[in-house]
Structure 1
Amino acid sequence: MVFCLALLHAGFIPAMLVFFIWALPGAIGMYALSLGVQSMSETLPQPAYALLSGLNASTVGIVALAAVQLAEKAIRDKLSRILVIFGACAGLCYNALWYFPVLMVIGGFATAIWDGWLYQQFLRAKLAWKNRHHRPQQADEANGDSIAMDDTTLEENGVQRSDTTIPTPPVEAALQQHIIRIRVGVLIICLFFASFIAILVVRGQLAAPPLVLDLFANMYLAGTVIFGGGPVVIPLLRSYVVDPGWVSSRDFLIGLAIIQAFPGPNFNFAVFLGALALQRSHFPTVFGAFLGGLGIFLPGITLAVAIQSFWRVLRKKKYVVDFLRGVNATAVGLVFTAVYRLWEIGYLTSERNNGQSLGKEPWWVVVAAVTYSGSAWFKVPPPVAIVMGAILGLCWYGAVGR
C-alpha cells in the first residue's frame, strides 16, 4: 500500500497509463505477429528462407549503423574509445545473464576512478618529471605560479578540479511543477531493488522455477540494465529467450526485422518474445505478452521517476557523470557484440533452421553492406531498407534457384 501511494504521488501510475495507451497499437500488432509466427511450420518453402535471410542481412546493416552512430556520440576521449572496444571484445568472449551488467558497471567505475583521481595524479607526476631538471632559481621563480600552472594544465586536458561541479542548465518552469520529494524517490528505489532481489533469489532457490517466473525475471533484468539506446538490449534479449530454448533463432530474427522495419519501443519486441515463450506451455500466450512487456518496461519507468527526485543534485556531482559516461561507452560496445551475434545466425536454410553465418553466402554480405551504406550515406529510411533486403533475398533465390 505504501509503495502504491508513493508511486501515485510521484506520478508513476499516470505515466504508466499514458505509456500503455501510447504503445498499445504497436503491442497489439506485435502480438498478432507472434500468433502468425506460432502457426508457421518448422520447415518453410525455400523462397521464405531467402526472404528471411535478406531481412536478417538488412537488419544487421541497420544495427551496425546504429552501433557506429552510438559510438560517435559516446566517444569523447581515449578512455571512452577504450571502453567501447572493451565492451565489444568482452561481450564476444563470454555470454551469461549476469555478464553484460557487470561489464557496464566495470566501465563506469573505470571512468569514475580515472577522471576523478588517477588522471590528475598522472598529470601531476608528468609535470614533476619535466621540472625535476630545472635550475633551482628557475624553480624558485616559478614556485608561485606552480599551482596555477597545474590547474591550467589539468583544465586544458579536460579534467576539472575536485572542488568544481559541472554547470547545470536552468530548469524549466514546467519541470519545476513536477518535482518529486527526495524521500519519495529513495523509497521507490529501495522498494524496487528489494523486489528485484526477491525475484532473482526466489528463482534461484527453486529447483525448477515456473516458466512465467523465469520469463518475467529475465525481462525484468533486461529492463534494468538497458542503457545507451535500444540496440543495446538486443544481445541481452537474445541471451534471455533464445539460449533457454523458449524462442527459436528464426522467430527471434523475424521479430527483430519487423521491429526495425516499423520502429517502436523495446516494449513491443518484448511483447512478441513473451508471447512466443509461452506458446508450448499451458499458459495463454497473451499472458506471456503481458509479462514480457511489463517486465522490460517497469524497471525503466520506476527508476526514471525515482531518480528524478534527486537527479538535480546528482548531475552536479562529477563522479556520477563520469560513472554514467563509462557505463554508456561500455554499453555501446555491446551493440557491436549484437552485430556479430546476429551476423552469425542470419543465414537461414531448411537444413540450418537455427541459422548460420551470413558470410557463407557473399550475397548476404552485399545486402548488409548496401543497407548500411544506403541508410548512412543516402538517408534511406530503415523500413525501406528492410523491405529492400527482403526483395534482394527473393532476387537471390530467383537467380540461384535454391
Structure 2
Amino acid sequence: MQPLPPSAPTPTSTSPAPLQSPAGHWAEVLKAFLLLGLTSFGGPVAHLGYFRAAFVERRRWLTEADYADLVALCQCLPGPTSSQVGIGLGLHRAGSAGALAAWVGFTAPSAVLMMLVALGVQHGTSPLAAGALHGLKVLAVAVVAQAVWAMARSLCPDWPRALLAVMAAVLVLTLPPAVGQVGALALGAVVGLGWLMSAPAPTTGSPVVPSDPKAPSRLDPQTSRPSASPVSRRMGLMALLLFLALMGALFLAAHGTGSRLWGALWVCYRASSLVFGGGHVVLPMLEAGMVQTGWMSAEQFLAGYGAAQAVPGPLFTFAAYLGATLSMPGVASPWLGALLLLTAIFAPAWLTLFAALPYWHGLRQQPRVRNALAGINAAVVGVLAAALITPVGSSAIQHPLDGAMAVAAMVLLMRLRWSPVILVLLMSAAGAGLVALGAA
C-alpha cells in the first residue's frame, strides 16, 4: 500500500514552500499527533481546524483540496469523524504504519485521562465527591444541548429535514431504545432516498471545514485532479467483509453467551457502526447498552461523559472510562477493560474508512447516496435531541437549582464560549459546594 501522492500547487510569486514528500516515517506522524492529542480541546469540529493548521498550512503534507476531500469522506462515514481524518492523514503520510501512529498519538492521552477519571469515580464515595459528580451530570445537559443546537442548524436547514428530526426523536422516545435508535436512522435513509431534493454534487476541495480560532475561517481549495486511493480495491473489500463479519460475530457472541464482556464489546462496536456525526451522537446508544441494562448507574455514566468534555482528543475515548468502570467477569484489570472497549469502538472507524477509500470519488457523486446521507444526518439530530430529554436531562435535573445550573452552563458554553475545561472545574466545584452548604 503506497501513500497518496499530493498535487503540486500552482507556482506564483507568493506561493508557499513546496509540499513535503508524502513518503514520511511513522515516528514523525506519531510525534505530530501526540502533540495534538495533548492539546486539541473543543471536540471534532475544532479538531478538523487543528489538523488543517498542522498538516496543510505548517507541515504541508497535503494540499487543501486533498484535505477537504478526506474530510468530506469521513463526514459521510459512521463513527468518529476527527479520528478517521487523523487516520487518513497518517495513511497519506506514511502508509499503514503512519495511520496506526496517528491514531495512537491522538487517542492515547485522552484515553489515559479517562481511565484515571474512572478510577477516581470508583473510589469517590464521599458526599463531596458525589456532589462533584452531580455537577458533571448537570454540565452534560449543557454540552448535549449545545451539540443539538449546532447540528440542527447545520443538518436541518429546511422544514423537511427539521420534520424528519422531530419524527426521529419521537421514535426514540416511544420505542425501546435499540429499536427506536436504529429505526430512526433507517427512517432517515428511506426519507432521504425518496423525498429529499438532491443536493449539488460536491467537488474536490469544496466542503467547508470548521477551523480553530487560530486558522483561517474556511479553506481555499486548490485546483487539482482527484488523487488515486492509497488503499487498493481488494484491501477495501477485505475491510468491508471484516467489518460485516465482526458485526455478526459480536452480535452472536453477545446474545448467545449472555456475557457482560461480549455484550459491552457489542454495544461499543454497534454504536460506532451506526452513528453518523460522531462525538455526542454516540451517547444515546452507549447509554442504552450500559445504563438501561443495569451494568452501571446513570450517575456513573453521565459523570464520565461530563468529564470527557475536559480532556483533549476524541470524545470516543469515553469508551476507556466505560471499560474501566464496568465490572466484567474475565477481565482482570480496569486497564484491560478500557483497552478492549477502546478497540471495539474504534474498529469500525478503521474498517469503514479503508472500505470506502477506493470507491469514494465515484460514490460521492451519486445523488441518491447524497440524499440518503442527508436524511440520516437529519435523523441523527432527532436521536440526540431525544437523548437530551432522557436520559441526560431526566437524570441530571432533579431540582430547580439543577435547572438553573444547567441554564447557566449553557450560557457560559454557547454564548460566552467558555472553555469546557474551565466549566468542568466550575460545575464540579459548584456541585461539591452545594453539598457542603447542605451539610452545614
CA distance, structure 1, for counterparts of residue 360 and residue 223 of structure 2: 14
1:25 partner letter: P
1:192 aligns to what?
243
- The one-character-per-residue Cα deviations of 1:305-350 (angstroms, maximum 9, x if unpaired) are 211111111110011001011111111211112212111112xxxx
CA distance, structure 1, for counterparts of residue 361 and residue 269 of structure 2: 27
2:406 partner letter: A
- The one-character-per-residue Cα deviations of 1:348-378 (angstroms, maximum 9, x if unpaired) are xxxxxxxxxx1x4111111100111121111
1:190 partner letter: L
1:254 and 2:303 are equivalent in the alignment: yes
**Preserved contact between residue 232 and residue 334 of structure 1 (Cα < 8 Å):** yes
**Preserved contact between residue 86 and residue 333 of structure 1 (Cα < 8 Å):** yes
- Pick from 256, 265, 270: which aligns with 1:221? 270
1:145 aligns to what?
none
1:101 and 2:182 are equivalent in the alignment: yes
The alpha-carbon deviation at position 107 of structure 1 amounts to 0.7
Within 5 A, what are the aligned runs for 1:1-400?
A: 11=95, 14-40=98-124, 44-115=125-196, 166-169=201-204, 176=227, 178-204=229-255, 206=256, 208-278=257-327, 283-340=332-389, 341-346=391-396, 358=397, 360-400=398-438
Higher helix content, 1 or 2: 1
Q: Secondary structure of 2:358's partner?
A: coil
Q: Secondary structure of 1:366's partner?
A: helix
The alpha-carbon deviation at position 32 of structure 1 amounts to 2.2
- The one-character-per-residue Cα deviations of 1:165-197 (angstroms, maximum 9, x if unpaired) are 614236876972644333432332123212211
> Which segments of 5 or more consecutive residues in structure 1 lack a partner in the other structure?
1-8, 117-158, 347-357
**Preserved contact between residue 140 and residue 306 of structure 2 (Cα < 8 Å):** yes
CA pair 229-210 structure 1, distance change in 2 beyond 3 A: closer
**Preserved contact between residue 192 and residue 371 of structure 2 (Cα < 8 Å):** yes
> Which segments of 5 or more consecutive residues in structure 2 lack a partner in the other structure?
1-90, 206-221
**Preserved contact between residue 322 and residue 341 of structure 2 (Cα < 8 Å):** yes
CA pair 12-113 structure 1, distance change in 2 beyond 3 A: farther
CA distance, structure 1, for counterparts of residue 232 and residue 346 of structure 2: 23
2:108 partner letter: L
CA pair 201-257 structure 1, distance change in 2 beyond 3 A: same
CA distance, structure 1, for counterparts of residue 236 and residue 331 of structure 2: 39
Q: Which deviates more, 278-287 or 21-30?
A: 278-287
**Preserved contact between residue 65 and residue 376 of structure 1 (Cα < 8 Å):** yes
CA distance, structure 1, for counterparts of residue 382 and residue 150 of structure 2: 12
**Preserved contact between residue 79 and residue 111 of structure 1 (Cα < 8 Å):** no
Q: Secondary structure of 1:310's partner?
A: helix
2:74 aligns to what?
none
2:424 partner letter: I
The alpha-carbon deviation at position 209 of structure 1 amounts to 3.2
1:3 aligns to what?
none
Q: Secondary structure of 2:309's partner?
A: helix
Q: Which deviates more, 84-93 or 318-327?
A: 84-93
CA pair 14-245 structure 1, distance change in 2 beyond 3 A: farther
Q: Secondary structure of 1:188's partner?
A: helix
CA pair 313-379 structure 1, distance change in 2 beyond 3 A: same
CA pair 395-14 structure 1, distance change in 2 beyond 3 A: same
2:279 partner letter: G
Number of aligned residue pairs: give it. 333
CA distance, structure 2, for counterparts of residue 395 and residue 285 of structure 1: 30
1:305 partner letter: F
Q: Which deviates more, 274-283 or 182-191?
A: 274-283
**Preserved contact between residue 172 and residue 386 of structure 2 (Cα < 8 Å):** yes
**Preserved contact between residue 246 and residue 276 of structure 1 (Cα < 8 Å):** no
Higher relative contact order (CA 8 A, sep 6+): 1
CA distance, structure 2, for counterparts of residue 223 and residue 328 of structure 1: 15
CA pair 224-172 structure 1, distance change in 2 beyond 3 A: farther
**Preserved contact between residue 228 and residue 332 of structure 1 (Cα < 8 Å):** no
